[in-house]
Structure 1
Amino acid sequence: MASIYVRVIQFFVAIAACLLAGLIGSIFTTPAIPTWYAALAKPALTPPAWVFAPVWTVLFILMGIALYIVWSKGWGQKKVQVAMVIFAVQLALNVLWSYLFFGLQAPFFALLEIGLLWVAILMTICAFYRVSIPAAALLVPYLLWVTFAAYLNYGIYALNP
């Protein structure tokens, strides 16, 4: 059994890893918001730009907590290893979407990629479910938000040929 200190470190590392992914994504996102993104035609239901940062921050924290729960079940277990690898892939895809959409300003390629991201999140939820139902449940808001983001991405692509 891991000591309380190891668990506390794992907890903060898991959350920090997810927040770091968000920070990396924001490097591509932040400069494009007042310029390129502001000039785009957007679909109905598009929230104001200021909504995205707090929503993503909460989602990254929930992802970190979910990651910690799975990690705390023991790295030596095959199902934990598989779940964490799938998680890492979806986290990388999350950052890639920001790069494609905001960094390259390529909504079409971002739309293709967000489909992969959505599948990867669903796979992560399934893998986490095998380890911890609460960890899987913590990722459901993330899947719902990415579903909404896919709608927005498609709308922007369709409205800005």
Structure 2
Amino acid sequence: MKFKPVAFIISIAITLGIGALGAWATAQSVKTWYTTLNKPSFNPPDSLFAPVWTTLYVLIGIAAYLVWIRRDKIVHFPRTVAIYLIQLILNLAWSFIFFYLREVGFALAEIILLLIFVVINGLIFYKINKWAGLIFIPYLIWVSFATLLTYNIFILN
């Protein structure tokens, strides 16, 4: 399949845009409210989150691109796009719920839903393009870790 640079850039720009909105939602609380929370011993340093999420958003964008370039061969393409968009919206929503609204319990319920949609999205992408599905594995691992972290912060606070 021929490389399509505009589609590639748009795919990555969409996910990085979601990440930027999430960063905006977290910016104030990370320096204030978040520092007051009791966190588990395995909580990573704050400086780790931005590079990890940036890398994951680029990977998610690449996976979306690999699916997009095969869109005319996908029987249920609108459903594939819907699952992908729901997963992105849930990703963004968690930042707003946890950091902006400061609702840890609601954020825990929401991240479990996000985790389910990441799995579904990854499996759908895998059926379309093996690499697109495999690229979702680091995202799945990180969201699983974030779910565990959110659960522990909920319990500790």
User: TM class by shorter-chain length?
Assistant: over 0.9
What SS does the corresponding residue of 1:78 show, helix, strand or coil? Answer: coil
Which residue, 31, 53, 58 being the options, matches 1:56?
A: 53
Q: Which aligned pairs between 1:138-153 and structure 2 lie closer than 5 A? A: 138-153=135-150
The alignment's TM-score, normalised by the length of structure 2, stands at: 0.95
**Distance in 2 separating the partners of 1:11 and 1:128:** 16
Q: CA deviation at 1:85?
A: 1.8
**RMSD of the alignment, in Å?**
1.4
Match of 2:33 in 1: 36
Q: Structure 2 matches for 1:1-161, cutoff 5 A?
A: 7-75=4-72, 77-160=74-157
Q: Report deviation, 1:27.
A: 1.1
TM-score when normalising by structure 1? 0.93
Contact map agreement 1:11 1:68 (CA 8 A) in 2:
yes
**In the alignment, residue 67 of structure 1 is paired with which amino acid?**
A
Distance 1:97 1:59 in 2: 16
Gaps (5+ residues) in structure 2? none
Residues 120-140 of structure 1 show CA distances to partners (whole Å, capped at 9, x for unaligned) of 000001110110010000011
Q: CA deviation at 1:75?
A: 4.4
Contact 1:86 1:120 in 2 (8 A): yes
CA drift at 1:78: 2.3
Which whole-Å deviations, capped at 9, do the CAs of 1:11-48 have from their partners, x for residues lacking one? 00000000000011111111111100011110121011
CA contact (8 A) 1:80 1:131 kept: no
Give the distance between the partners of 1:145 and 1:32, measured in 2 at CA: 21
Can you list the C-alpha shifts for 1:35-63, whole angstroms capped at 9, x where unaligned? 00011110121011110000000000000
What SS does the corresponding residue of 2:54 show, helix, strand or coil?
Answer: helix
* Percent of aligned pairs with the same amino acid: 39
Query: Contact 2:74/2:128 (CA < 8 Å) preserved in 1?
Result: no
Q: Where in structure 1 are there 5+ consecutive unaligned residues?
A: none
Encode CA deviations 1:51-87: one digit per residue, 9 max, x unaligned: 0000000000000000000001124632443322211
Q: In the comparison of the two structures, how many residue pairs are matched?
A: 157
